[in-house]
Structure 1
Amino acid sequence: MAQEMLQASKMKLVFDYGVDEDNQPIHKTKTFNRIRLNAPADQLYQAATAIGSLSTQPLWNIERNDTYQIGE
């Protein structure tokens, strides 16, 4: 039976930069690598909002991207 093993975790902050001339939203991201694998969502949210508060642009979204190795 195959199993998955968490290898890496990244946190991506998405900032809102308004809209372009075609009225399409402009979002820019900042990715933080090497996030602690067992970090709960509450801690990531607190860290992301603290980092986001340092920006002049509003924080639009917070994402977590996990990478798994699948094997036996």
Structure 2
Amino acid sequence: MATKVFEKATLRLTLDEGINEGGAVVFSTKSFTHVRENATSEQLYQFAAAFSSLSAHPLVDVQIVPQYAVQPV
């Protein structure tokens, strides 16, 4: 038998940087580590919106990437 244990999470924001010379859309990603396991979706989105308001580029996507360890019981 095994169990999964939360280790850490990363908040990843994707910003639209515009269009390059070749006509392709360019995105940039900003990552923030040490996200608490109990952070709510609303709190994470409020942070993402506040951060993107400081940028000249619009926010396209917000993702939370959790990482778990699998340990024997």
Q: Same fold (TM over 0.5)?
A: yes
Taking the TM superposition and a 5 Å limit, the aligned residue runs for 1:34-45 are: 34-45=34-45
Q: Which amino acid aligns with 1:38?
A: N
Structure 1 residue 23 displacement after superposition: 2.1
Question: Residue in 2 aligned with 1:2?
Answer: 2
Question: Residue in 2 aligned with 1:32?
Answer: 32
Structure 1 residue 30 displacement after superposition: 0.8
Q: Cα deviation per residue 1:40-71 (whole Å; 9 max; x = unaligned)?
A: 11110111101111101111111111000011
- The CA RMSD measured in Å over matched residues stands at 1.0
Unmatched 5+ residue regions in structure 1?
A: none
Q: Which amino acid aligns with 2:34?
A: R
Structure 1 residue 22 displacement after superposition: 2.6
Give TM-score, length-normalised by structure 1: 0.91
CA distance in structure 2 between the aligned counterparts of 1:23 and 1:68, rounded to whole angstroms: 39
CA distance in structure 2 between the aligned counterparts of 1:23 and 1:62, rounded to whole angstroms: 24
Tell me, yes or no, if structure 1 residue 69 matches structure 2 residue 66. no
Runs of 4+ in structure 1 over 4 Å off = none
Give TM-score, length-normalised by structure 2: 0.90
Identity %: 33
